[in-house]
Structure 1
Amino acid sequence: MGSRSCFSAFGLLLIAFQFITVMGANLPSNKCGPNVAATDRDLINFALNLEFLEAEFYLFGALGKGLDNIEPSFAQGGPPPVGGQVANLDPKTRRIIEEFAYQEIGHIRAIVKAEGGFQRPLLNISKEVFATIVNQAMNTTLSPPLNPYANSVNYILASYIIPYVGLVGYVGTIPNLVRRDSRALVASLLGVEGGQDAVFRTLLYERAPNETVHPYRFTVAEFTNPISEFRNRLAMCGLKDEGLMVPLQLGAENRTTSSILSADANSLSYSRTPLEILRTIYGTGDESKPGGFYPNGGNGRIAKSFLSRRH
């Protein structure tokens, strides 16, 4: 018990140090202006970039096949994703991921029905992309590289990377929508995306902070905190993302060091603009420079308008 208490105390000190470092280096930049000027249709269709990514990752992880095998018309002729494979999941995790996969199909259907949608962009959901993101976040080179498809813990850690980005994007979108039906649609999408993110964070919190992710020396919390910090750095607009363990000054009402739900000082959801989302999902910190999960960039008017500015 003594050694575990020592470890927990050290872990919290480390988290506090990381928080101070991030806050000093990641204050809002001059790229954090107003949201992009766009119609309701543009803003809602923009979300399809994330919905396609989630659908394909969950479908392949749970079933070993993607959207083209279940609802091929939804891709609207877009190229098949790269690197997806069935994951080695325990029965409970597989059931959760399969349900989430079907929910993402419903989200795509709802957006396409309401706003027309667009062609699925090229997606890279290979183990190599996830390994690169985690290495960059952890500022190290894991050996062996983290393979999201290897087991349930790895897959949930990889899933931690994705849905929160869509969640804060929806929060940022709603105030900029004009039509009532648009707000109703995005609010409904947000409800389910928020639920998915909460499930992933809870599953990970059950293992945090003391469970080490085999075969690495890092605990679950020591994975999630750097991933959240990395997303903050990429988005370039301050602290809007928290790992599972936080210093007391970030906990709810400054009374807890847990962060099962990432939220601000009033326990309200953080929000991000499309520019912040693109910088994050490209993994480049530049809305005009594709990469990461989107080798050729996102689709839709908003994403393509920034790609057209590439030099």
Structure 2
Amino acid sequence: MLTYFTSAIFASLLLLLISTKSEGDELSVSRNSSLPLSDVDLLEFPLNLEYLEAEFFLWGSLGYGLDKVAPKLTAGGPPPVGGKKANLDPLTRDVILQFAYQEVGHLRAIKSTVKGFPRPLLDISAENFAKIINDAMKRTLIPPFDPYANGLNFLLASYIIPYVGLTGYVGANPQLQSFEAKRLVAGLLGVESAQDAVIRALLYERALQKVQPYDITVADFTDRISDLRNCIGKQGFKDEGLVVPVELGAEGRISGNVIAGDKDSVAYARSPEEILRIVYGTGNESIPGGFLPWGGDGRIARSCLKH
């Protein structure tokens, strides 16, 4: 009898332990996988730019994009417009290919954390980049700027993209509530800012070189592109070229500006609305265009389109 009761008690305790462990596991999984809705929105929004970077870098370095490299990540979204292999020198191709695969990882990391959305329609055509450069220069360049023509042009075109994304991550970070979301954004921001720094460093080495066939230096190109982003972002000065007046350089003591930052050399922050104004090229978060001719996806971008 004693043996029976001992066995019964042991079995009951074992069942209780298993039950408790199971409930604890479910709670743990629930805490790790369920994010506040605001965090979900802020994590999904950057997919618009991560898709753009992935496609531009893949096409430029390989001559094909996500549909061949990681088709599941597209979730059936339309292929980009105008992508083609760029005429890159070996060093530039190596760097851009590294960036391309990094962006594939970014897409996977975000979509492993939140549901995300299919790849939106992207315009990475030479014509679209030419329009952006014309807007920056406030005149029509002849011949039209072609990002795929050579390594320098591709780096200048690349200058247009990652920096916008990193300012978005800086802006999103203080609004995030969960540790999981903050950790992901910190990791994404680290790599995006490094990409921008590499692009700026490679261009800074040739800051005074004339971009052929235009009588415009590399530094002037970056300055005009940054001015354009400040203008259509409509939220003040958050963008700087490679060479600035000394008073705007680090500690107001140097004109070289290989990494952009405010008066304390802290990265600038942008809101989703500012980013949409810039990537649409319209200066209005409700009017699509530019890199996203049908508009961005995710709740934040869609809500702007309804206004």
Q: TM-score range by the shorter chain?
A: 0.7 to 0.9
Q: Which residue of 2 aligns with 1:136?
A: 135
**C-alpha separation between the residues in 2 aligned to 1:308 and 1:172?**
23
The one of 289, 295, 298 aligned to 2:296: 298
How many residues are aligned here? 272
Query: What residue is the counterpart of 1:284 in the other structure?
Result: 282
Question: Following TM superposition, by how much is the alpha carbon of 1:63 offset from its aligned partner in structure 2, in angstroms?
Answer: 0.1
Give the aligned partner of residue 11 of structure 1.
none
Is the 8 Å Cα contact of residues 55 and 104 (structure 1) preserved in structure 2? yes
Aligned residue identity for 1:144: P
| Distance in structure 2 (CA, Å) of the matches to 1:274 and 1:38 | 16
SS of corresponding position for 1:114: coil
- Counterparts of 1:229 and 1:258, CA distance in 2: 17
Residue 127 of structure 1 corresponds to which residue in structure 2? 126
What TM-score do the two structures reach when normalised by structure 1? 0.87
If the length of structure 2 is used for normalisation, what is the TM-score? Answer: 0.88
Contact 1:62–1:87 at 8 Å: present in 2 too?
yes
Tell me, in whole angstroms, the C-alpha distance in 1 between the residues paired with 2:248 and 2:75: 43
Is 1:76 the counterpart of 2:103? The answer is: no
Distance 1:159 1:197, change over 3 A: same
Does the 8 A contact of 1:38 with 1:302 survive in 2? no
Corresponding position of 1:243:
241
CA distance in 1, matches of 2:220, 2:174: 34
Q: What is the CA-CA distance between 1:189 and the residue it aligns to?
A: 0.1
Q: Which has the higher contact order (CA 8 A, sep 6+)?
A: 1
Structure number with greater Rg is 2
1:49 and 2:45 are equivalent in the alignment: no
1:230 to 228, 231, 239: 228
Partner of 1:117: 116
Q: 1:38 offset after TM fit, Å? A: 6.3
For the residues of structure 2 that align with 1:277 and 1:212, how far apart are their CA atoms? Answer: 29
Aligned counterparts of 1:211 and 1:274: Cα–Cα separation in 2: 34
1:253 alignment partner in structure 2 = 251
Percent sequence identity over matched residues? 59
- Taking the aligned partners of 1:123 and 1:170, their CA distance within structure 2 comes to 21
Does residue 96 (structure 1) correspond to residue 95 (structure 2)? The answer is yes
Match of 2:38 in 1: 39
Runs (4+) off by over 6 Å: none
Report the residue type matching 1:292 in the other structure. G
In 1, distance between residues paired with 2:76 and 2:249?
45
From 217, 220, 230, the equivalent of 2:218 is: 220
Instruction: Provide Cα deviations, 1:42-67, integer angstroms capped at 9, x if missing partner.
Output: 00100000000000000000000000
What is the CA–CA distance in structure 1 between the aligned matches of 2:238 and 2:134, rounded to whole Å?
21
Counterpart position of 1:34: none
**Amino acid in structure 2 at the alignment position of 1:54:** E
In the alignment, the residues of structure 2 paired with residue 80 and residue 51 of structure 1 have an alpha-carbon distance, to the nearest angstrom, of 15
Aligned residues: CA RMSD:
0.9
Structure 2: where are the runs of 5+ without partners?
Answer: 1-35
Work out the CA distance in 2 between the residues paired with 1:244 and 1:38: 38
